[in-house]
Structure 1
Amino acid sequence: MIFIEHILERPNKKPILIDLRHNESETQPIVIFCHGYKGYKDWGAWNLMADAIANAGFCVIKFNFSHNGGTMENPIDFPDLEAFGNNNYTKELEDLHGVVDWVQNEFKHDNHIDVSQISTIGHSRGGGIVLLHASEDSRIKRVITLASVCNFGKRSSTIGDLERWQKDGVKYVRNGRTNQDMPHYFQFYEDFKANEERLHIESAVKRLTIPTLIIHGNKDTSISMDEALNLYEWKPDSKLVIIENADHVFNTKQPWESDDLSPELKTVCEEITHFLKQSEV
């Protein structure tokens, strides 16, 4: 398998850390994976998931959102809390658009990678991002969500603390894994309100005309399975797959020390590759 790491430098913007893996034996469609909130591309078993999809005949790309709190030197944890606090949904949409641009430009003459066939996968908050992006970018031919949110509005403020958040300019969320108090500056809410129509996931999903796969675990305590059911209701021609006994990360964790996928994430990979092959255009 060919493995490439790349730092996408952008004028007057934070860089994006990218990795890419593919086999050299055939021309492969592209699959781009977007991590979720307090996540990163190398979390847990995501690399094993990417390997499984690549081995099924796809060029798989993962990246860290530019303001996820990681750095080029330490992409695993969250040393750059200032960047984390200044993240927002529109920055993540811009990051994904930039990665798609890079892929198409970088590999347009590569006979092993089909830049005309791009699918996106998003986990949790990343699921909302890929749905919004797919509704805006005709280059995306298929979209897949894993344990996705269906509404950014209710996550952009907490009832009762909006006035305090505005007054203080920041509120904090505890990260149980790293024991950090992670800042969210009030710009997050302001950016959401300024772009509320664009960030309305229901409207975006109803506009989608491409094949869509919705995957959710029935033991997910972070994002209710009802959110997957909402997505499916808004796009009834999508495919809905409920993974039995699976939690929000499909029974994996950070760190993931096994060389094998969890049974639940293995099923997820099988569903993804089957869907991508069945819906090829």
Structure 2
Amino acid sequence: MTGSPGPGLGELAAEVARLSDIAALNHLIDRYLAGLDEGLASSASTFASTSAAGSDSDSDSDSGSGSGLGSGPGSGSGFDAAWAASLFTEDVELLFPVGSHQGLTGADGFLREIMERWGRTHHHGSLASVEPDGDLAAVSWSLIASHVHFGSPLPPQPSAYFQIGGRFTGVARRTPDGWRFARLRLRIVWSTGSPPGGVTEVDARTLEASPPVPEASPPINTLTRHMSSEEEPPCPPHSRPNSSAKSSRRSSTRGWTSATSRPPTAI
């Protein structure tokens, strides 16, 4: 007497493929969160070393031996085009509390400008919900993100920080190079600590429980600082100076466009 036949080879192969996709999607999420913190640490290290080298090279500038160092935050940081291409599709849509961006081009700069408003960060993600369906997958996970202000003492001294809790939701797509995020939205649920100077609001779409319907013509790259049209942007109390950035007001909105403005404050 024989028992019920087990699953066929085809069913086993399909299950192995599904589990492989789930593992790859979880790895994509882990790489994204770790990359935010590690990229900032790399950027801070590069900024410090190039600033010191730039000071040392001042005396050599007349002789033409300058090396072009000291070009400001972001030069040679972990946030570069290769990093972005390892995470996002060509048509990626990003919706965060302080701004939005569409397209792989410029995604590295968009995230760099947000992250470099902090001395250091720690992004802690929960176990993710991952639902692959063919070449698309719905993904979501909870987040606690801690942002430490510049000038804050190192542990074990208490840090000056801003912390948020929320949830990422999005869609990933299979590409020839593996799974990539096609859309990411961060919903904010709570915050505590000292926010960056000048930030009084966040994008209302990131406070809603349900993801918003995509706009017909989403902004290509908008980093928002919510303030009245008459208010001058205050300098964040713990921000690193960035003399290389030039600012300009947008005439019709309550924000800044990243292509022409100083790096935004971030949440």
TM-score, normalized by length of structure 2? 0.30
Structure showing greater radius of gyration is 2
TM-score, normalized by length of structure 1? 0.29
